[in-house]
Amino acid sequence: MYIYKYKYQNIGVEIVNSNNMTPKEIVEYLDKYVIGQKNAKKVIAIALRNRWRRMQLDEKIASEVTPKNILMIGSTGVGKTEIARRLAKMMKMPFVKVEASKYTEVGFVGRDVESMVRDLALEAYSLAKKELSEANRDKIEAYIENKIIEKLLPPLPNGASEEKLEAYDRAFAKKQEQLANGELDDLKIEIEVSGRNIDVGSIGNVPPEMAEVQESIIQVIGGMNKKKKKEVTIKEAKKLLELEAQKELFNEEELKQIALSKAESGGIIFIDEIDKVAVSASSSSRQDPSKEGVQRDLLPIVEGSSVKTKIGQLNTDHILFIAAGAFHFSKPSDLIPELQGRFPLRVELDSLTQESLYRILTEPENSLVKQYKALLSVEGVELEFEDEALRAIAKYSALANEKTEDIGARRLHTVMEKLLEDISFEADSLSGKVLIDKKMVDDKLGDIIESEDTTRYIL
């Protein structure tokens, strides 16, 4: 008999981060996406390796080994966020990026600092659910297939003859093949779906007490547990039934425990614009008295505390915090001493030179040049860049950064958009190869860069 006789059970699979890349391998991976910044890559690679080392220790000493948080200092667009984001993605760790300037001291209007931990909890839950779904893809697809084919071929009653059972098996196998090939996607079937599903991530980042009140209200007036019949195409049914399959197959409490473990032992919180809450000692004006208050609210989170989240009490003792800021108008020493002490690793990122910008255009796996080539190939346009043209783009980007605000590699986006503006606009009527040479770059960008005022407003 076929898969429709499959007996489904809750799946309790523990997801463990088995990624144990060496610092050299981590730096080698980062080199594919971020140009230069060797010192920053080295510091972060060591910090991540130390987390893996801690997991190999005896539990008694492992609990005493706390992560060495990192403070990254550098202008915008030099790769601070990209380094942390790429690492988290590669190592499948829960990662959230927040801006320190969005937070306010308790008692002021705005987000409280604990919300960053709740964000991390939701991210860990989504990551755990995704990994569990991928690990059990066959069972989920079998569940969906079973539900859909049962609607097309209702099961035979008990006591059916052997001949009918064999005929049913043949018909079932045929439907399985058609379903797999997408031949049935446009057929409509009637399925039962929950009136309202409340998932851990569906309410968003609100304090748990408020979330519980919202759930209660929805349960009372929304009839979330009631199922209703809905007529949908088989293509749509696959998506709806996948959510149902996950709910049926996965144990929600086990999933929360896996997510909690991932967040506590592998979570990374990237706090950007930390310099915006530093109060300069030379500053006589106290326009925003909550700045120091935000630092004091951050302190217990970074030191290690327990925060109530939708997946349970999350301990922040072993979460890695990476803070970053330009520190143009303040210094790291302007942060309160207690917070400075919680970021023992300091790394200064280099400003981008003309050569760095050229390498950013050509070397990374996801370089801007490759992105624009791929985008315009959709319209049948084959972009080709001369090497001299790329060097000219890097030169004009570096000049624009010198004449106005230094926004690092982000300037390349502005320059490339301006350069390819007409080609993008006319792409539907162009075809074949389009060559970008140095003369074209000079014609499009030369006059703009020469005038500081024009550069300021256009690039």
| DSSP states along 108-165 | BSSB-TTHHHHHHHHHHHHHHHHHHHHHTHHHHHHHHHHHHHHHHSPPPPTT--HHHH
Query: In DSSP terms, which residues pair with 307 in a beta bridge?
Result: 314
| Local confidence band at 444 (pLDDT 50, 70, 90 cut-offs) | confident
Residue 174, pLDDT above cutoff 60: yes
Does residue 181 carry a pLDDT above 70?
yes
pLDDT of res. 36: 85
Higher pLDDT, 421 or 246: 421
More confident residue, 178 or 384: 384
Mean pLDDT over residues 77-93, rounded? 82
**pLDDT for residue 319:** 92
Average pLDDT, the chain: 81
CATH topology for the 1-350 domain: Rossmann fold (3.40.50)
The CATH code of domain 354-458 reads 1.10.8.60
Output the pLDDT for position 301.
Answer: 92
* pLDDT confidence tier of residue 91, bands split at 50, 70 and 90: confident
Which residues lie below 8 Å from residue 369, measured CB to CB, with a gap of 6+? 361, 362, 385, 390
pLDDT digit string (tens) for 264-281?
988 999 998 898 888 776
Q: How far is CA 114 from CA 202, 206, 209, 324, in A?
A: 19, 10, 13, 19
CB atoms within 10 A of CB 106: 14
Per-residue pLDDT band at 14 (split at 50, 70, 90): very low
- Percent pLDDT > 90 in the chain is 22
Domain boundaries, the chain: 1-350, 354-458
> Can you give the pTM of this predicted structure?
0.77
Q: Is 265 strand, coil or helix? A: helix
Mean pLDDT of 326-347: 89
Q: How many Å apart are CA 424 and CA 434, to the nearest integer?
A: 11
Please tell me which residue, 175 or 118, carries the higher pLDDT value: 118
The C-alpha atoms of residue 112 and residue 298 are separated, in whole angstroms, by 9
Confidence band of 164 (pLDDT split at 50, 70, 90): confident
Over residues 391-401, the mean pLDDT reads 90
Predicted confidence at residue 455, as pLDDT, reads 62
